[in-house]
């Protein structure tokens, strides 16, 4: 039975074509003069990437005819660079119109320049399609070695702003490290005073006495300075090495302390040495307080006497016991620990100050919210600064840039839609946190008719309400893609339900509607209100939307 029906259909089709041809030939002479003539040609069928070709359309028709040439990006996959003005030549009651389009393509390959529709008095006429070859820049394969094509490999996705964060942290750590090295760990060159201060007390005392010998105090009759420095050297030595309070003691007090230490066996110093030291101190007191001026030879002898006193005192100090050595070692270790703690505190304080300064500078430049979101993370900020994807979805295709690849969604048409919809393809991405959603749908209608976009807008709003949305505000305006394709933009705000929350949250939405004979395309975006990162994402997506205008 099916074969019979097919045979009948073929026979009818053949008869219909035969009758049509007969009618055309029979009436050809009657209206040939009224039928418009359409011719099209290109100046070349071979161009390089970025070069232009000229597509010329010539229409010869009656002078009273109304002719409409193609407008906009109807030459896809080729791109329109420029449409020149229409040239008109009139001859008697006939008119010849000629229009030239400059076209180009930026990807190599073979492309078909599609048939173009020219409307003459409301009737469509079509040009022929033309194959265009676009060649890439030629490569001299003899000048360099050719290699096999590399196999596909998995590439880890890069995080958009991670390198910035790492670079910022590296700069902060580098500044802290430089500051710590310069102020704490760097071995600074020692001055002469610092080198002398690091010497043991005995060596420092002997060195001081030798320097005093070279001084000009005695030549300048400055006996007070001479004896003051002389007694300071020996008193400082006694205080450091003998551990007796010598700097703040009077002459008699100091001598009494030395005598007591001698009697107690803490200082093995003979009586004559102590008396000689007492004599030098008394002479010094007379010079400093009574303005006495001894002979230079006496002053020089007193210096030699003090040097001998220092040497004998060094020899008279008993060797430290094992317990004293341990105590001294513990003291030195504790001193070293204190120095180490001090260095750590300085480094920590420096790092904290650098971090605080860097944070304050970042907040002042970028704002507190951006810095907080960078440190703690923000889902839509990561999407905005991540690696975006340019792709086509469905048929007829919807092309757009998105921060994530849209995944195909299983769609089951309701019974009431199955009669009017032949096929529906849906793709979507939804963030795991919040309201952010991107979706596209491509619908092929059962009949070659224009879609009812107003009805589609109403259906979208009903779907929002069916999913629990409330207080929906709506606005509608015309939307035009960068290539000139026009559609409808439905947008607004409302309270939306999300799976991870029982409460409704404030959000925004945008729905784009495009369509033509027998098809409809939609782009749906939803996101949280007051999310500036999502606002930028939506703006970038809307600026990238492109759609096919024909099946």
* Mean pLDDT calculated for residue range 277-306: 89
Q: What's residue 22's pLDDT?
A: 32
Domain coverage including residue 119 = 33-135
CB-based burial label for 444 (10 Å; 0-12, 13-18, 19+): middle
Together in a domain, 276 and 418: no
Position 301 scores a pLDDT of 92
- Which one, of 35, 38, 17, lies nearest residue 115 by Cα? 38
The label of the residue with tokens 């040939």 reads: 32
Residue 502 pLDDT greater than 50, yes or no: yes
β-bridge partners, 126: 117
Q: What band does 40 get if pLDDT is binned at 50, 70 and 90?
A: very high
- Write the pLDDT tens digit of every residue in 105-161: 888 888 888 989 888 988 889 898 899 999 876 655 555 556 566 565 555 555 445
The CATH number of the domain holding residue 428 is 3.40.1000.10
Sheet of 123-126: strand order equals 67-68, 117-120, 123-126
Q: Is 368 inside any structural domain? A: no
Q: Decide if 428 is inside a domain.
A: yes
What pLDDT is recorded for position 328?
Answer: 67
- Secondary structure (3-state) at 407: strand
Q: Once rounded to an integer, what is the mean pLDDT over residues 271-288?
A: 90
Evaluate whether residue 374 is within a structural domain: no
Please state which of the ranges 129-133, 148-152, 481-485, 512-516 shows the lowest mean pLDDT.
148-152
- pLDDT at 325 (0 to 100): 64
H-assigned helices in 408-467 = 415-418, 453-466
Q: Are residues 298 and 421 in the same domain?
A: no
Residue 472 lies in a domain: yes
**Look-up: residue for tokens 């495009």?**
514
Across 200-209, 262-271, 358-367, least confident range:
358-367
SS (H, E, C) 512-534: EEEEECCEEEEEEEEEECCCHHH
Residue 54 has pLDDT above 90, yes or no: yes
- Whether 485 and 408 share a structural domain: yes
Residue 262 covered by a domain: yes
Q: What is the pLDDT of residue 100?
A: 93
Number of domains, the chain: 4
Minimum mean pLDDT range among 219-223, 292-296, 384-388, 501-505:
501-505
* Mean pLDDT of the 255-275 span: 86
What is residue 375's predicted lDDT score, i.e. its pLDDT? Answer: 58
**Which pLDDT score is estimated for 4?**
29
pLDDT of residue 441: 87
What are residue 48's DSSP bridge partners? Answer: 135
Task: Write down the pLDDT at residue 225.
Answer: 92
Share of the chain above pLDDT 90, in %: 9
CA angle, residues 150, 153, 157, in degrees to nearest 5: 135
Structure tokens at 153: 């490999």
Distance CA 494, CA 464 (A): 10
| 45 in the same domain as 8 | no
Q: What is the pLDDT of residue 268?
A: 83
Do 230 and 113 fall into the same domain? Answer: no
Mean pLDDT of 205-214: 90
Range with the lowest mean pLDDT among 25-29, 237-241, 534-538, 547-551?
Answer: 25-29
Q: In the beta sheet, which residues pair with residue 426?
A: 409, 441
CB contact at 8 A, 60 and 99? no
Going by pLDDT thresholds of 50, 70 and 90, the confidence category of residue 163 is low
Distance CA 106, CA 67 (A): 31
**Confidence class of residue 432 from pLDDT cuts 50, 70 and 90?**
low
Average pLDDT, the chain: 78
Averaged over 280-304, what is the pLDDT? 89
> Do residue 392 and residue 541 come from a single domain?
yes
Is the same domain home to 297 and 235?
yes
Which residue shows structure tokens 């094992």?
322
Tell whether 339 is covered by a domain: no
Domain assignment present for residue 359? The answer is no
Element (H, E) at 544: helix 532-544
Higher pLDDT, 453 or 291: 291
Task: Using the predicted structure, report yes or no on whether residue 58 has a pLDDT greater than 90.
Answer: yes
Q: What is the predicted pLDDT for the residue at 43? A: 92
Q: Looking at residues 435-441, what average pLDDT do you find?
A: 86
Q: What's the CATH number where 281 sits?
A: 1.20.120
CATH number, residue 44: 2.60.40.10
The pTM of this model reads 0.40
What span, in angstroms and rounded, lies between the C-alpha atoms of 74 and 115? 9
304/416 same-domain check: no
The three-state secondary structure class of 285 is helix
User: Which pair of structure tokens corresponds to residue 316?
Assistant: 């008279």
3 state DSSP class of 111: strand
Q: What angle do CA 18, 24, 29 make, to 5 degrees?
A: 150
Say whether 175 sits in a helix, a strand or coil: helix
C-alpha torsion 492→495→497→503, nearest 10: 160
> Contact at 8 Å (CB) between 310 and 298?
no
Please write the tens of the pLDDT for every residue from 356-391. 766 776 666 656 666 666 655 566 777 787 788 888
From residue 176, how far is each of 134, 352, 364 by CA, in Å? 57, 9, 21
Question: Can you tell me which residue has the tokens 């040439």?
Answer: 69
Residue 54 or 548, more confident: 54
Looking at residue 31, what is its pLDDT? 36
- In the prediction, which pLDDT does 7 show? 34
pLDDT at 148: 61
Looking at residues 324-345, what average pLDDT do you find? 76
416/453 same-domain check: yes
Nearest to 97 by CA among 54, 55, 43, 61: 61
Whether the predicted pLDDT of 173 surpasses 90: no
Instruction: Among 316, 348, 370, identify where a domain stops.
Output: 316
DSSP-derived letter for residue 477 is E
Tokens of 39: 């011719």
Q: Are residues 436 and 297 in the same domain?
A: no
Q: At 490, which helix (H) or strand (E)?
A: strand 486-496
* C-alpha of 60 from chain center: 60
Report the pLDDT value the prediction gives residue 368, as an integer from 0 to 100: 60
User: Which residues have a Cβ under 8 Å from the Cβ of 209 and sit 6 or more positions away?
Assistant: 230, 233, 303, 306, 307, 310
Claim to verify: residue 394 and residue 306 sit in the same structural domain: no
Assigned domain for 162 exists: no
Are 47 and 16 in a shared domain?
Answer: no
How much of the chain, in percent, has pLDDT values that exceed 70? 79
CB atoms within 10 A of CB 91: 9
* Residue 486, pLDDT score: 86
Between CA 372 and CA 374 the distance in angstroms is: 5
Alpha-carbon dihedral angle through residues 167, 171, 174, 179, given to the nearest 10 degrees:
-170
| Structure-token pair, residue 520 | 């409809």
Out of 316, 343, 361, a domain closes at 316
């Amino acid at each position: 039975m099916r074969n019979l029906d097919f045979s009948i259909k073929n026979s009818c089709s053949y008869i219909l074509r035969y009758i049509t041809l007969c009618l055309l030939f029979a009436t050809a002479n009657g209206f040939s003069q009224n039928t418009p003539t359409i011719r099209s040609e290109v100046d070349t069928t071979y161009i390089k990437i970025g070069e232009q070709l000229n597509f010329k359309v010539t229409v010869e028709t009656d002078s009273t005819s109304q002719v409409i040439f193609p407008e906009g990006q109807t030459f896809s996959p080729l791109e329109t660079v420029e449409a020149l003005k229409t040239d008109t030549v009139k001859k008697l009651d006939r008119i010849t119109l000629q229009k030239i389009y400059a076209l180009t393509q930026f990807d190599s390959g073979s492309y078909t320049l599609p048939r173009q529709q020219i409307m003459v008095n409301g009737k469509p006429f079509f040009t022929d399609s033309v194959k265009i070859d676009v060649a890439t820049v030629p490569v001299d394969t003899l000048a360099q070695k050719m290699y096999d094509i590399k196999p596909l490999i998995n590439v880890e996705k890069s995080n958009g702003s991670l390198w910035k964060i790492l670079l910022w942290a590296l700069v902060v750590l580098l500044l802290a490290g430089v500051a710590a090295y310069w102020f704490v760990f760097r071995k600074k060159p020692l001055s002469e005073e610092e080198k002398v201060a690091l010497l043991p007390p005995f060596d420092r005392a002997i060195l001081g006495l030798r320097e005093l010998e070279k001084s000009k105090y005695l030549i300048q009759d400055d006996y007070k300075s001479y004896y003051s420095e002389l007694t300071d050297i020996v008193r400082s030595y006694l205080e450091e090495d003998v551990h007796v309070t010598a700097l703040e003691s009077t002459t008699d007090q100091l001598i009494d302390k030395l005598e007591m230490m001698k009697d107690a066996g803490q200082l093995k110093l003979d009586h004559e040495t102590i008396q000689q030291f007492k004599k030098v101190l008394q002479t010094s007191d007379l010079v400093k307080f009574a303005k006495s001026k001894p002979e230079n030879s006496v002053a020089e002898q007193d210096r030699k006497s003090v040097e001998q006193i220092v040497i004998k005192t060094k020899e008279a100090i008993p060797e430290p016991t094992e317990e004293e050595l341990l105590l001294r070692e513990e003291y030195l270790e504790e001193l070293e620990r204190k120095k180490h703690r001090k260095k750590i505190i300085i480094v920590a304080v420096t790092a904290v100050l650098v971090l605080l300064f860097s944070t304050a500078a970042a907040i002042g430049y970028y704002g507190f919210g951006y810095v907080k979101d960078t440190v703690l993370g923000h889902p839509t900020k990561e999407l905005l600064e991540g690696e975006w994807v340019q792709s086509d979805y469905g048929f007829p295709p919807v092309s757009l840039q998105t921060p994530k690849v849209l995944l195909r969604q299983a769609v089951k048409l309701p019974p009431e839609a199955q009669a009017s919809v032949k096929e529906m393809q849906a793709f979507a991405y939804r963030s795991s946190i919040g309201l952010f959603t991107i979706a596209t749908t491509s619908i092929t209608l059962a009949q070659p008719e224009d879609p009812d976009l107003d009805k589609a807008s109403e259906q979208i709003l009903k779907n929002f309400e069916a999913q629990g949305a409330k207080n929906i505000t709506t606005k509608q305006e015309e939307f035009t893609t960068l290539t000139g394709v026009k559609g409808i933009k439905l947008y607004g705000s409302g309270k939306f339900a999300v799976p991870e929350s029982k409460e409704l949250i404030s959000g925004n939405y945008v729905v784009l509607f495009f369509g033509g004979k027998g098809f409809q395309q939609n782009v749906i975006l939803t996101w949280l209100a007051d999310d500036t990162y999502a606002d930028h994402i939506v703006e970038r997506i809307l600026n990238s939307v492109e759609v096919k205008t024909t099946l």
